[in-house]
Chain A
């Protein structure tokens, strides 16, 4: 399955066909999810209308974790098999994951102020998500810190893999330590403990975020591949001319491969 997309040319073809479908599906699902979240879902009996922040906050939190997992897995594939598309996928996904993490942190703060009485508290859940945000930023900075693109990619991949230890800490932080943050109510043993009237819009928003992520990821991967190809063309010219240019530059005949 993966190896079918290993070829960048084939990836460009398949992703080009998939792109408009991802975009249209994301827009449609998010439109439904927004109306449902803001107007149809009932207010909470304890938290009132402020509970509507959940429909953004929780899907953004899920995305922040799963996108990081994707960055780490793609990094592992890039390190072990030197798969060119895996490296591009990891580098394309990281800024999008950082955006979702930022949304998770900011909406959590806006929800915490009226419900907990504070914008921020240095407890395990909030701090570990902040660490996740800095892991994303560190990965992006490290990848771009080297003149040699391959060295940057390898250093970033290593950081992404080390950062995986943070994911179970985030997930179980609400069970392991005392915190203001409520424990899981959807992804838990024994099934969700959230009312169906709130669970449904939550899941619709989550699917909308996933589709939007898919669209953004394909868009960004295609842009990176386009830019690399353009850069290679500027440096070396058209493939047909490369041998002559290399010979002109080095003064040696280049061996035929």
Chain B
């Protein structure tokens, strides 16, 4: 077995180690992307509202 395949196998615990890291990456990565896009949208909305100041 190559060293890389050896590493992937995690000494027989691959089925536990990789899901643990994958789940953490999915939860934190997903939250980061969601908050990032919400932040951008909220800033753009506010800019638009403040830009249309005189028209009300």
Contacts and interface: CB of A to CB of B under 8 A. Distances in A.
B49 A53 contact: no
B32 A212 contact: yes
Contacts of B24: 56, 60, 103, 107
A234 interface: yes
A150 B27 CA distance: 30
Interface of B: 7, 10-13, 16-17, 19-21, 23-24, 27-28, 31-32, 35-36, 38-39, 42-43, 45-46, 49-50, 53, 56
Contact of B17 (A53, A95, A219, A230): A53
A241 B49 CA distance: 14
Contacts of A220: 35, 38-39
Interface in A49-95: 49-50, 52-53, 56-57, 60, 95
B32 A39 contact: no
Interface residues of A, number: 40
A38 interface: yes
Contact of B10 (A52, A56, A226, A234): A52
Contacts of B32: 212, 215-216
Given A43-B11, A103-B28, A107-B23, 18 more contacts: A56-B20, A99-B28, A107-B24, A110-B17, A110-B20, A114-B16, A216-B31, A219-B36, A222-B39, A223-B35, A226-B43, A227-B42, A227-B45, A229-B46, A230-B49, A233-B50, A234-B49, A238-B50
Interface of A: 34, 38-39, 43, 48-50, 52-53, 56-57, 60, 95-96, 99, 102-103, 106-107, 110-111, 113-114, 212, 215-216, 219-220, 222-223, 226-227, 229-230, 233-234, 237-238, 240-241
B17 A52 contact: yes
B27 to A, nearest CB: 5
9 contacts: A34-B21, A48-B12, A52-B17, A95-B31, A103-B28, A110-B19, A114-B13, A114-B16, A219-B35
Interface of chain B, main secondary structure: helix
A57 B13 contact: no
Contacts, number: 94
Given A110-B20, A229-B46, A216 B12 contact: no
Interface of chain A, main secondary structure: helix
